[in-house]
Amino acid sequence: MDRSSRGALALAGVLTGIAGLVASQATVWILQAKNGPIVAVASAVRDKTPGDLAVKLVHLVGHKDKPLLIASTTVLLLLLCAWLGTQARRRPVLPELAFFALAVVGLVSVLRLKDSSAGSSFGVVVGLITWLVVFRVLTSPLVAPAADAAPEVWAGSRRAFLQRVGGVGAGVVLVGWIGRVSSRGRRRAEQARRLLRLPVSAGKPPAGVSVGVPGVAAWRTSNDDFYRIDTALTVPTITPGDWSLRIHGQVEKELTISYNDLVSRSLTEDWITLCCVSNEVGGDLISNAYWSGVPIRDLLAEAGVKDGADAVLQTSKDGWTCGTPLAALTDPKRNAMLALAMNGQPLPLEHGFPVRMVVPGLYGYVSATKWLVDLEVTSFDQFDAYWTVRGWSAKGPVKTESRIDVPRDGAGTKTGSLKVGGSAWAQHTGIEKVEFQLDGGPWQAARLGSVPGNDTWVQWAGDVEVGKGKHHLAVRATDKSGYTQTAVRRDVVPDGATGWHTIEFQSG
Ligand SMILES: Nc1nc2c(c(=O)[nH]1)N[C@H]1C(S)=C(S)[C@@H](COP(=O)(O)O)O[C@H]1N2
Ligand SMILES: [Mo]
């Protein structure tokens, strides 16, 4: 093989690398997902770099660490691709295996980021397919002729190669452009979000909320870890400037409210635990945050609700609907709000930016509309909402529940004394006590963490003595209305699961 065909093979490798990266990033953009593979790998590198080294590097380059990391990850990858290109003739299987391995690294890096969606993983798959196909397309003219083939044969294959380089190059530019155009909405919304300075605070969890048992879900859920449930295939992207909310229906005076108008009103802030009706017993579709927003009752009072109404129908930008009892929104003792911020940050796009509803004590599907654009004061006999026509109940107060986080179901533990713990919730009613039961023995009272009010979950903890062998642990909560969780297991449909969370673990 002569020098120039070695150079051509390296070029084929680099172009293949670029084509795959662009294809996967464009896929992520088109699907409005987060976390393209390069960013994901760069974050993994950053997180896995030993602490002091990472700190030193960051000090060295200042706030440019992220772009720099992304650029160097890309350059390293393309150098590797160049080398893989040069191997196409003698070891054709090696580049294919390497592309597979790189895709696995990409996939693992994407999956470890909690806010990745299916679109992010799909992007990696598209990138891999692109790598395999483009590599074949570009290298085949270069590896086809025998080393001692006539000069005309070489000239012909070089022409074919150059044509393919041109074709792939044009494809890359086109796909990249389509990706950029289709992600413009998201980038605009992200940028507007970054520039917002809201008069809100991040909230400080009261002392004693944590029972101090490692493995129990953090009392405050970070925005990145907050569970996410919605029907949106692509996240609606609304800038605050484009947003407005119409309040109409059974009201004296229709209102249309802009974002600035909303922000200039008096804000309320509160710890509220949000929970999904499809959370199975022991499930993790529940999270707790500090929310900032405008009390809905203030806006309803301004609009003037007419007699006879008993519901507020909400519609999101993407046409999702849900109905909430009017009484829950006008109740002066319930902090139902149009939330602007979560843990002191403007709502993340995935969690309803720029404005969503949060109502203590009700499941999300009947209260927590994200990307909210319309409120209609009406009555329950006048409409069917998105989930009610699909077999779910029209009303969804949160059911009193509790969960074991430690030990995990199926875990192995030491023998002797063990700490057990988890969370319990009965939003807007409050948790009175939590009890746990080891191996069918007597119910024992758990120690409870403190809470700022009745609208959040509470942590619980206890101590047990275990001998060698298999054990069962059950938990049940009693709320402040005096109700103790039923042992009867009910499915999540139509209005939330019931039953005690019970786990098995092995000691010794
Ligand atoms: N626009 C819109 N809002 C929505 C939903 C949805 O599908 N679309 N799902 C609801 C459900 S079922 C739940 S449990 C909560 C979840 O909110 P989160 O994703 O911020 O945790 O949002 C609610 N708001
Ligand atoms: Mo939900």
Tell me if 201 is assigned to some domain. no
Tell me if 224 is assigned to some domain. no
Produce one character per residue of 340-349: b if its CB has 16 or more CB atoms within 10 Å, e if not. bbbbbbbbbb
Ligand with the closest atom to the CA of 367: 1
If you average pLDDT over every residue of the chain, what do you get? Answer: 93
Residue with CA nearest ligand 1 atom 7 = 230
User: Would you call 442 exposed, middle or buried from its count of C-beta atoms within 10 A (0-12, 13-18, 19+)?
Assistant: exposed
Question: Do residues 371 and 476 both lie within one domain?
Answer: no
Residues of the chain with pLDDT under 50: none
Ligand with the closest atom to the CA of 319: 1
**Greatest alpha-carbon span in the chain:** 93
Question: Do residues 277 and 251 both lie within one domain?
Answer: yes
Ligand 2 centroid, distance to 389 Cα (angstroms): 15
Percent of the chain with pLDDT over 90: 81
Ligand 1 atom, smallest distance to 363 CA: 14
What are 208's two structure tokens?
Answer: 């004693």
pLDDT confidence of residue 56: 67
Tell me if 197 is assigned to some domain. no
Tell me if 214 is assigned to some domain. no
Ligand 1 centroid, distance to 362 Cα (angstroms): 12
Taking the C-alpha atoms of residue 497 and residue 477, their distance in angstroms, rounded to an integer, is 14
End-to-end CA distance of the chain: 63
Tell me if 275 is assigned to some domain. yes
Q: Is the Cβ atom of 374 under 6 angstroms away from ligand 1? A: no
What are 486's two structure tokens?
Answer: 């039923």
Ligand 1 centroid, distance to 300 Cα (angstroms): 22
Neighbours of ion ligand 2 (CB under 5 A): 229, 276-277, 364-365
Pick from 421, 490, 505, 432: nearest CA to 459: 421
Question: Do residues 15 and 135 both lie within one domain?
Answer: yes
Question: Do residues 53 and 156 both lie within one domain?
Answer: yes
Q: Is the Cβ atom of 291 under 6 angstroms away from ligand 1? A: no
pLDDT confidence of residue 63: 60
User: Would you call 488 exposed, middle or buried from its count of C-beta atoms within 10 A (0-12, 13-18, 19+)?
Assistant: exposed
Ligand 1 atom, smallest distance to 275 CA: 14
Ligand with the closest atom to the CA of 318: 1
From 390, 413, 440, give the residue that closes a domain. 390
Whether 221 contacts 289, CB under 8 Å: yes
Tell me if 161 is assigned to some domain. yes
From 154, 183, 212, give the residue that closes a domain. 183
- Show Cβ contacts of residue 303 under 8 Å, excluding neighbours closer than 6 positions: 247, 251, 252, 253, 254, 255, 377
CB-CB neighbours of 46 under 10 Å = 16
Whether 257 contacts 195, CB under 8 Å: no
Taking the C-alpha atoms of residue 412 and residue 152, their distance in angstroms, rounded to an integer, is 70
What is the extent of the structural domain holding 412? 401-507
- Show Cβ contacts of residue 21 under 8 Å, excluding neighbours closer than 6 positions: 37, 38, 74, 77, 127
From 163, 183, 203, give the residue that closes a domain. 183
Question: Do residues 478 and 432 both lie within one domain?
Answer: yes
Q: Is the Cβ atom of 371 under 6 angstroms away from ligand 1? A: yes
Q: Is the Cβ atom of 229 under 6 angstroms away from ligand 1? A: yes
Distances (CA, A) of 250 to 253, 311, 327, 379: 9, 10, 14, 9
Question: Do residues 263 and 358 both lie within one domain?
Answer: yes
Question: Do residues 11 and 139 both lie within one domain?
Answer: yes
Question: Do residues 288 and 424 both lie within one domain?
Answer: no
Question: Do residues 289 and 415 both lie within one domain?
Answer: no
pLDDT confidence of residue 52: 65
Ligand 2 centroid, distance to 363 Cα (angstroms): 6
Ligand with the closest atom to the CA of 221: 1
Q: The CATH number of the domain where 315 resides is what?
A: 3.90.420.10
Ligand 1 centroid, distance to 229 Cα (angstroms): 5
- Cα–Cα–Cα angle for 315, 251, 238, rounded to 5 degrees: 30
Cis peptide before 205 (omega within 30 of 0): no
Q: Is the Cβ atom of 320 under 6 angstroms away from ligand 1? A: yes
List strands edge to edge, sheet with 458-466. 401-406, 416-425, 458-466, 447-448
Tell me if 29 is assigned to some domain. yes
Residue with CA nearest ligand 1 atom 6 = 230
Q: Is the Cβ atom of 78 under 6 angstroms away from ligand 1? A: no
pLDDT confidence of residue 2: 64
What are 277's two structure tokens?
Answer: 């009706």
Give the total number of structural domains in the chain.
3
Question: Do residues 280 and 309 both lie within one domain?
Answer: yes
DSSP string, 19-76: HHHHHHHHHHHHTT-S--HHHHHHHHHHHHS-HHHHHHHHHHHGGGHHHHHHHHHHHH
pLDDT confidence of residue 69: 84
Ligand with the closest atom to the CA of 495: 2
What are 225's two structure tokens?
Answer: 């870890």
- Show Cβ contacts of residue 361 under 8 Å, excluding neighbours closer than 6 positions: 328, 334, 397, 398, 427, 428, 429, 455
Q: Say what the pTM is.
A: 0.81
pLDDT confidence of residue 27: 94
Whether 143 contacts 6, CB under 8 Å: no
Ligand 2 centroid, distance to 206 Cα (angstroms): 27
Residue with CA nearest ligand 1 atom 4 = 369
3 state DSSP class of 503: strand
Tell me if 25 is assigned to some domain. yes
Residue with CA nearest ligand 1 atom 13 = 364
pLDDT confidence of residue 54: 62
pLDDT digits (tens, 9 = 90+) for 147-170: 678 888 888 888 999 999 999 999
Question: Do residues 445 and 342 both lie within one domain?
Answer: no
Ligand 1 centroid, distance to 276 Cα (angstroms): 8
Q: The CATH number of the domain where 426 resides is what?
A: 2.60.40.650
Whether 79 contacts 72, CB under 8 Å: no
Pocket test for ligand 1, best of 117, 228, 229 (most atoms within 8 A of CB): 229
pLDDT confidence of residue 112: 87
Question: Do residues 496 and 441 both lie within one domain?
Answer: yes
